[in-house]
Structure 1
């Protein structure tokens, strides 16, 4: 294999369910996956076809929808295979690949949320200069920066893990290849790898969170200067969808601080991964279309060929 590993396959334990519960969970998960794919693809196609939505805000939304499709597809197909066929085995390199893409896409998502918060800051605080500041070139550069930083941030820990000597049990107590659970099976010293992984992940998590907090602090200050409450609420409503998504993603990440706590069927780390990797991509299309009249109208035009406005 080109490394020191004596283990060529891992076993993903996933969830200890009965046959009946596994069948129900499989059906629910398959429905979630289909709705997630269709919902995010619909957002991408609608924005692509509607010229009125060709602004910075919707450019980032297209990238987020694409990211959610990739994110959920990195873990759900294998979990469906486990539930349907009890195919718990995954190769060493397959496990490493899944681990890499899960954390790469997770990192890019956090960074993209930070870029979107800057977009909302410019829209609220400098509305007259919005088009001049948030140019297509700047949006492209911000998006590419998110992917490059996410790629480099995840690459080094993954390369280090690929050279770890695994000789203990090959059972991973998770439904995907989580790096922390993977390192528990290592026979070699992994303290340095865990430290590097902690530093790299903290850099992305707290760096993006600081950008988001700073942007919204500026937005709040700007809103306090608006005299009319109606105008103030209208300005803030443009940030509501993004802020709700931030709360959901960072809220579910707090569960990672409680990895040792277990319930009757799964521990908190599984719940956190389920929220960020499966539930959040499902909610994204609904969050950004629920109260967005422009997207509602564009979707209606895309599907039915006419506007929602009464002719």
Structure 2
């Protein structure tokens, strides 16, 4: 096999989690279940937001975009892995690998930006409630989502184009279940200094920057909530951002844990297994986190699946006769 960026003959082999034949049906069934739950759950969130006029607010507009991003995010990696298990073929073409890498970087970055935008929305709602409808107008909401998409497209395009300039050795076995950027750089035979520099710079700028924005927003939110006199008011204010805070913690803790553990153990198998947490588990759990404690979402979901909503309680008492 020739080296270089000649895409006509280049192929990669995704090793996945295990080569044991007895474990393949178990892995296939597990990931099919998680994938279907994630896609179906996020699709229900999108349908609920789109069909209920009461949910046509900035918070639910961003939530629908996050659900769409979750569907795309998990769809960049899991279907190809399931196909490889089913066909017992681990091959992915050079073009397919670069394409998968592009969309993975794009939707991972979009998750970060949307979570940051949602934190800003909660900051305005709690810290500036009287000006909320003026500040979070439809034009600004659309602009925030558009800027998020543009930033992610530019970053993923830059990372993918820089990958095209690298030369790869003849041993092209990827110890992962998808074409992860860092794993691909380790397989390159040519100098990857510039690629690593751009990758870490983008991680600090496009992941660390939004995370700092989220921390700042929640520091202001906590400061505002502590200033509320009544306990009921504090609970009501905190409940409006509890779901978002749970999703942010889940996404950042799992993704940060993956890269810290991989740097500490240098084990590709443990890194691939840990990557499941933020690439598969997080998109699967997000719909549950946002729907279980949200009365508006539950009401819209009940209407979609045909469960009548109970708006009141009628108590029938027997007539008292003398």
Q: 2:34 aligns with which of 32, 35, 40?
A: 32
Instruction: Give 1:42 shift.
Output: 0.7
Residues 221-265 of structure 1, C-alpha deviation per residue, up to 9 Å, x if partnerless?
111210111111110111000000000111012220221455999
Number of residue pairs the alignment of both structures matches: 309
Task: Summarize the Cα distance change of 1:181–1:92 in structure 2 as closer, same or farther, 3 Å threshold.
Answer: same
Residues 138-185 of structure 1, C-alpha deviation per residue, up to 9 Å, x if partnerless?
110000111111111221121111111112411011100011111112
Map of 2:153 onto structure 1 = 151
Map of 1:4 onto structure 2 = 5
Q: Which range is displaced more, 243-252 or 223-232?
A: 223-232
Say whether 1:291 aligns with 2:296.
no
| Aligned 8 A contact 1:298 1:307 in 2 | no
Map of 1:176 onto structure 2 = 178
Map of 2:259 onto structure 1 = 256
Provide the C-alpha distance between the structure 1 equivalents of 2:133 and 2:309, rounded to a whole number of angstroms.
Answer: 25
Say whether 1:300 aligns with 2:302.
yes
Instruction: Give 1:266 shift.
Output: 2.4
Q: 1:137 aligns with which of 131, 136, 139?
A: 139
Residues 31-69 of structure 1, C-alpha deviation per residue, up to 9 Å, x if partnerless?
111111111111101110100000000000000000000
Map of 2:105 onto structure 1 = 103
Map of 1:226 onto structure 2 = 228
| Aligned 8 A contact 2:17 2:273 in 1 | no
Q: 2:197 aligns with which of 187, 195, 198?
A: 195
Provide the C-alpha distance between the structure 2 equivalents of 1:191 and 1:265, rounded to a whole number of angstroms.
Answer: 21
Provide the C-alpha distance between the structure 2 equivalents of 1:174 and 1:157, rounded to a whole number of angstroms.
Answer: 19
Map of 1:124 onto structure 2 = 126
Say whether 1:61 aligns with 2:63.
yes
Task: Summarize the Cα distance change of 1:204–1:272 in structure 2 as closer, same or farther, 3 Å threshold.
Answer: farther
Q: 1:48 aligns with which of 44, 47, 50?
A: 50
Instruction: Give 1:128 shift.
Output: 2.2
| Aligned 8 A contact 1:43 1:65 in 2 | yes
| Aligned 8 A contact 1:301 1:308 in 2 | no
Task: Summarize the Cα distance change of 1:135–1:20 in structure 2 as closer, same or farther, 3 Å threshold.
Answer: same
Q: 1:266 aligns with which of 235, 259, 269?
A: 269
TM-align CA RMSD: 1.9
Provide the C-alpha distance between the structure 1 equivalents of 2:268 and 2:120, rounded to a whole number of angstroms.
Answer: 40
Residues 172-208 of structure 1, C-alpha deviation per residue, up to 9 Å, x if partnerless?
1110001111111211111111111110122111111
Task: Summarize the Cα distance change of 1:4–1:264 in structure 2 as closer, same or farther, 3 Å threshold.
Answer: closer
Map of 2:87 onto structure 1 = 85
Instruction: Give 1:271 shift.
Output: 3.0
Residues 115-157 of structure 1, C-alpha deviation per residue, up to 9 Å, x if partnerless?
0000000111122221121111111000011111111122112
Unaligned segments of structure 2, at least 5 residues: 314-322
Instruction: Give 1:87 shift.
Output: 1.7
Provide the C-alpha distance between the structure 2 equivalents of 1:179 and 1:225, rounded to a whole number of angstroms.
Answer: 45
Provide the C-alpha distance between the structure 1 equivalents of 2:152 and 2:240, rounded to a whole number of angstroms.
Answer: 27
TM-score, normalising length from structure 1? 0.95
SS of residue matched to 1:266? helix
Provide the C-alpha distance between the structure 2 equivalents of 1:159 and 1:224, rounded to a whole number of angstroms.
Answer: 48
Unaligned segments of structure 1, at least 5 residues: none
Provide the C-alpha distance between the structure 2 equivalents of 1:140 and 1:169, rounded to a whole number of angstroms.
Answer: 46
Map of 2:115 onto structure 1 = 113
Moved over 3 A (4+): 3-7, 260-265
